[in-house]
Amino acid sequence: QKEVEQDPGPLSVPEGAIVSLNCTYSNSAFQYFMWYRQYSRKGPELLMYTYSSGNKEDGRFTAQVDKSSKYISLFIRDSQPSDSATYLCAMSFTSGTYKYIFGTGTRLKVLA
């Protein structure tokens, strides 16, 4: 079993839709949960991160962590064609670790 599982997609939605992207994980010791956005042929860029359980909101983006279910989500409201990218989740045990465990990424297409 992989430490982090993520549906590869592609996920196609119409412009303005609410998008839900998810990851599951197996190691309950993970404490930091990150979401990265990666445009084609570019490096990933950090969107947001959460520590432990709970929600975090930043503009149209909301990150949710459910440690009891070992499940994290990224919600995108009012999705735009510019949101079309691959979204990767990542996890680490502490903020001081050098090792992030990444999901394989979900390709999102927002259709105009």
Residues engaged in binding another protein (CB under 8 A)? 4, 6, 8, 32, 34, 41-46, 49, 88, 90, 92, 95-96, 98-100, 102-105
Residue 3 gets which letter from DSSP? S
Comparison of 79 and 108: residue with beta carbon closer to another protein: 108
- Closest contact distance (angstroms) between CB of 40 and another protein is 11
Comparison of 21 and 79: residue with beta carbon closer to another protein: 21
Comparison of 22 and 104: residue with beta carbon closer to another protein: 104
The answer to whether residues 88 and 33 touch, using CB atoms and an 8 Å cutoff, is: no
* CA-wise closest residue to 13 among 73, 63, 80: 80
Query: Which pairing describes strands 106-111 and 85-92: parallel, antiparallel, or unpaired?
Result: antiparallel
